[in-house]
């Protein structure tokens, strides 16, 4: 079998580094063709020397010389800047693009990769939140498959194997509830970023860890699920499951439910997306029932964690509202991480932006770009 040639966008992050572990474990199946990073030049150089891609992109132009000086000796091409990131996905030798970069920055590279008919392994959920309709239409037109890497969506995708002729009645996205499950608004007022950055079950990048603490992550995932599985808002439910063993469930028309379960470990959904439709062996730790005598479930608290309610509102109204929510949230999370605002302000800023930034029912790509800029500008005035 020919090796699959992979471009990893965001190779220095949490998903990116775990994807490289998967590649290393299955070096006979996968070959790294492209690696990209925002500014972590040292790690990008190390990765490139080890995995020998054809090309790398460093988005932060001030780091370009450092990377290029080392990698030219290894015969690896180095490019810089956002434009290069958006172009490199089109390289003829690339089969699969793993979008493991964070935030709105994933949108244009993903669009270009789809136009170039590359299979997408999608970790960058923000892309589907910002422009889910545009992306799914484009993927259909180009015959491109989008394979989910997010663990909940990966779980649903696995449950749907062999079920393509059967209607989904409903899906349940499981949520750990984050570090502040059960807390009241009063208790959340003075939460520090150090507290919010400690996730009980998953070790992830800073932005998604804060999103998990505010339940924005689950809100973004509800929107992501709509586009990946073509569902109506009322077909998507969220259930809090603090042990994170059931990664999500599908309920079919006959009432039967399928779940995908296992220990929380992102290497599994990454590997499945890369190897699909095949399963590859894995040395990961196996689930032991006796370690988890109780799996528990709760309703999410959508009043305290208002972001989840905002996400459903964005889903109901459609248009550019989810793009507004995403942009506001990116600005607010950054401000929280810089100690400029409190924990509860994040959702307040998101709500204000959704109320104030102009709504567009049928946005074009240019409208999304403008909406993103406007929502960011407005969010910054609230900080």
Bridge partner list, 119: 96
Say whether 129 sits in a helix, a strand or coil: helix
Which one, of 346, 368, 350, lies nearest residue 359 by Cα?
A: 368
Our finding on whether 124 is near ligand NAD (CB under 6 A) is yes
CB of 152 to Mg ion, least distance (A): 5
Return the residue nearest ligand NAD (CB atom): 13
CB of 43 to ligand NAD, least distance (A): 8
Whether the CA torsion 322, 324, 326, 332 is positive or negative: it is negative
Distance CA 126, CA 135 (A): 12
CB of 358 to ligand NAD, least distance (A): 25
**How many whole angstroms from its chain centre is CA 302?**
21
Distance CA 349, CA 353 (A): 6
Question: DSSP letters of 234-290?
Answer: GGEEEEE-TT--EEEEEEETTS-EEEEE-SS-THHHHHHHHHTTS-----PPPP-GG
Backbone angles phi, psi at 78, to 5 degrees: -120, 130
Our finding on whether 37 is near ligand NAD (CB under 6 A) is yes
Stretch that binds ligand NAD, among 33-41, 170-178, 188-196, 363-371 (CB under 6 A): 33-41
Nearer of residues 37 and 303 to ligand NAD, judged by Cβ: 37
Our finding on whether 88 is near ligand NAD (CB under 6 A) is no
CB of 1 to ligand NAD, least distance (A): 28
CB of 260 to ligand NAD, least distance (A): 15
- Please identify which residue in 102, 147, 228, 270 interacts with ligand NAD, judged by CB under 6 A: 102
Distance CA 177, CA 355 (A): 27
Choose from ligand NAD, Mg ion, none: what does 181 bind? Cβ within 5-8 Å by kind. Answer: none
**Binding to ligand NAD in span 258-297, by CB under 6 A:** 266
CB of 144 to ligand NAD, least distance (A): 19
Question: DSSP letters of 9-28?
Answer: ETTTSHHHHHHHHHHHHTTT
Say whether 184 sits in a helix, a strand or coil: coil
Structure tokens at 187: 């208790």
Nearer of residues 125 and 374 to Mg ion, judged by Cβ: 125
Nearer of residues 15 and 48 to Mg ion, judged by Cβ: 15
**Binding to ligand NAD in span 187-216, by CB under 6 A:** 202, 204-205, 207-208
Our finding on whether 45 is near ligand NAD (CB under 6 A) is no
Distance CA 173, CA 80 (A): 38
Say whether 31 sits in a helix, a strand or coil: strand
State the residues that interact with Mg ion by CB under 5 A: 150-152
- Give the residues lining the site for ligand NAD (CB under 6 A): 10-16, 37-38, 40, 59, 85, 100-102, 105, 123-126, 150, 202, 204-205, 207-208, 266
């Amino acid at each position: 079998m020919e090796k699959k040639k992979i471009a990893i966008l965001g190779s220095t992050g949490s998903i990116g580094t775990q994807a490289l572990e998967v590649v290393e474990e299955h070096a006979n199946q996968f070959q790294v063709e492209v690696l990209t990073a925002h500014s972590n030049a040292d790690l990008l150089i190390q990765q490139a020397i080890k995995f020998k891609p054809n090309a790398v992109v460093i988005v932060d132009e001030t780091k370009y010389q450092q990377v290029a000086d080392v990698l030219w000796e290894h015969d690896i091409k180095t490019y810089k800047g956002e434009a290069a990131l958006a172009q490199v996905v089109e390289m003829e030798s690339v089969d699969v693009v793993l979008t493991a970069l964070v935030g709105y920055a994933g949108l244009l590279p993903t669009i270009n990769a789809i136009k170039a008919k590359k299979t997408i392994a999608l970790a960058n959920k923000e892309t589907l939140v910002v422009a889910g309709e545009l992306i799914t239409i484009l993927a259909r037109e180009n015959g491109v498959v989008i394979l989910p890497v997010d663990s909940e969506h990966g779980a649903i995708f696995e449950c749907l194997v062999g079920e393509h002729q059967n209607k989904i009645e409903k899906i349940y996205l499981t949520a750990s509830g984050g570090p502040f499950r059960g807390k009241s608004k009063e208790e959340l007022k003075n939460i520090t970023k150090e507290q919010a950055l400690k996730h009980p079950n998953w070790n992830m990048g800073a932005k998604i860890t804060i999103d998990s603490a505010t339940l924005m992550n689950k809100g973004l995932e509800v929107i992501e699920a709509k586009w990946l599985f073509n569902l109506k808002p009322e077909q998507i439910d969220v259930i809090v499951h603090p042990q994170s063993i059931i990664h999500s469930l599908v309920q079919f028309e006959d009432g039967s439910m399928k779940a995908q379960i296992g220990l929380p470990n992102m290497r599994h959904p990454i590997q499945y997306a890369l190897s699909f439709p095949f399963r590859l062996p894995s040395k990961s730790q196996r689930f032991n029932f006796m370690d988890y005598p109780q799996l528990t479930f709760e309703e999410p608290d959508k009043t305290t964690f208002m972001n989840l309610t905002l996400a459903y509102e964005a889903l109901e109204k459609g248009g550019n509202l989810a793009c507004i929510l995403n942009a506001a949230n990116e600005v607010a999370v950054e401000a929280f991480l810089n100690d400029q605002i409190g924990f509860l302000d994040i959702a307040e800023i998101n709500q204000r932006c959704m109320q104030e930034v102009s709504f567009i029912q049928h946005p074009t790509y240019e409208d999304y770009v403008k909406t993103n800029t406007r929502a960011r500008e407005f969010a910054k005035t609230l900080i």
